[in-house]
Amino acid sequence: MQTSSKTAREIYQDVINNPARKRFGFGNKAVLVNIDLQKAYTRTDLFATAYETDPGQLQYVNELTAEFRRLGWPVVWTHVAYMDSAEDAGIWGTRTDTPDSLQNIKFGSERSEFDERLDIDCERDVIYLKKMPSAFFETQLQSLLVWHQVDTVVLTGGSTSGCIRATAVDSLSRGYRTIVPEECVADKHESYHFANLTDLALKYADVLGVEEVKAWLAAQQ
């Protein structure tokens, strides 16, 4: 095992500035999957479970969303919410039981609501309720991607170390080119955030600046 006195952020910058592996690259058609951008995780003024890495995150997500809609490509939003009994959280919901706990994001609660700053079109966009980290797990996402004949998955939301990572691994495992715009994902602590961005960049996805992703989209017809 290698050791280092560098911070997770510094190690990430070393990897991004000196890439050792070629990119997976963009394909021909993409889906935008915005993961769990709900108040429990975005409203730092309301909830202890919320986090912010880049203050422009939600605006960037809206800009990507607009480009996907222009192209007629699918836009997906996921969120989590659980029954009063929390039985649908399974074993994942047994570690803690506090007002901030995952399984206590209840249906109809403010924590379950999407952030009002997001540009969500409930008629055109696809909205999935998920129970576990990956957006692919027991949702219809895979079928949607097959129907739209996409080969590239662009991921935004949070957390980088949890649902973004889990979805990226599942995306790659299903044969999709996977793109993570750095400014569009967030986590509770910079250590988790940058450590997982590093691992994603080395193994499972292309971690790119959002401006590069936007430029690619702008060039598509």
Q: Convert the pLDDT of each residue in 131-179 to its tens digit.
A: 999 999 999 999 999 999 999 999 999 999 999 999 999 999 999 999 9
What is this structure's pTM?
0.97
CATH superfamily of 26-78+114-218: Isochorismatase-like (3.40.50.850)
pLDDT tens-digit series, residues 28-84:
999 999 999 999 999 999 999 999 999 999 999 999 999 999 999 999 999 999 999
Considering the candidates 163, 195, 201, 205, report the single residue annotated as catalytic. Answer: 163
The domain locations on the chain are: 26-78+114-218
Give the phi and the psi of residue 132 in degrees, each rounded to 5.
-125, 175
Residues 6 or more apart from 140 whose CB is under 8 A from it? 128
- Is 163 designated active site? yes
For 17-123, strand residue ranges (E) read: 30-35, 75-80
Rounded to whole angstroms, the Cα distance separating 100 from 16 reads 34
In this predicted structure, the answer to whether residue 3 has a pLDDT above a threshold of 90 is yes
